[in-house]
Amino acid sequence: MRKIICIANQKGGVGKTTTAINLSASLAATERKTLLIDCDPQGNASNGTGIDRSVVNEKNLYHSLIGGGPLKDVIVETQIPTLDIIPSNQDLVGVEVEFVSLADREKKLRNLLRNLDTPHEFIVIDCPPSLGFLTVNSLVASDSLIIPLQCEYFAMEGLGHLLQTVKIVKARLNPSLSLGGILLTMFDTRNRLSHRVAEDVRSYFGKKVFKSVIPRNVRLSESPSHGLPIILYDIKSRGAVSYMELAKEILSNGRM
């Protein structure tokens, strides 16, 4: 059965897109056919998987959302045979304005995904760093939500707003939406603050926090500039190992 996972946090710089790219690639590496949807007008997930800009201009999420064409028509292959992507660019910025008077506009992406007849076992959606139209559409379309949370000062800032939004979406638009888990990112083993934040988050959220932790890792930070997921850029790095562990945790415990 297909699983749709939304990666969201309205706070920027928490490792959201890094997680979307590398979780998708890690799931694909286990021979699960995976689709990454770049739902952020910045298009960082598209760039981070090495999709050429000319290709993105011809095929992107905006074309399906606005034109109503099938998502299948805007799917692009990546360097990993079992990983595909629906890319995005700055055109998505105008979607919220263009849909302002549209009925059921929050369900647009969900309706497109329901009509997507492809063999993908996992669909991972990378959201913009906001709680606007695109993020709400992603939450309505998803089975579960992963919240990347950086192990730094102000880590939980704004988290309450996101959880409140999830609560509203669940009550009014998507009763099946669940909190798949909170993922600790940018963890520095040498930093006492990282350990303290991790302890506080685990104390408050308990089993909702993934056992897997994403470290602060230079190779992980470098990989997007080369248009490569970390498992292709440096599979032996701590970042690659951590995301593979996250994929195994998701596959093994059925929490998604």
- Cα–Cα distances in Å, from 174 out to 44, 144, 170? 27, 10, 5
The DSSP letter of residue 147 is E
Q: State the DSSP string of 193-227.
A: HHHHHHHHHHHHHGGGEEEEEEEP-HHHHHGGGGT
Q: Which residue has the tokens 């996250």?
A: 246
Alpha-carbon distance values, 212 to 34, 182, 217, 243, 247 (Å):
20, 10, 15, 8, 9
Give the burial class of 66: count Cβ atoms within 10 A of its Cβ; 0-12 exposed, 13-18 middle, 19 or more buried: middle
| Among candidate residues 47, 91, 41, the one with its CA nearest the CA of residue 227 | 47
Has residue 102 got a pLDDT over 90?
Answer: no
pLDDT band at 254 (very low <50, low <70, confident <90, very high): low
Give tens-digit pLDDT for 233-246.
Answer: 999 999 999 999 99
Reported confidence tier of residue 95, pLDDT bands at 50, 70, 90? confident
For 169-210, the pLDDT digits (tens) are 999 999 999 999 999 999 999 999 999 999 999 999 999 999
Angle at 201 between CA 24 and CA 204, to 5 degrees: 120
Amino acid (1-letter code) at residue 33? K
Domain extent listing, the chain: 3-253
8 Å CB contact between 211 and 242: no
CA nearest neighbour of 91 among 65, 110, 127: 65
Strand partners, 150: 185
For the domain made up of 3-253, give the CATH fold: Rossmann fold (3.40.50)
Average pLDDT, the chain: 94
pLDDT value for 256:
65
pLDDT confidence bin for 101, thresholds 50/70/90: confident
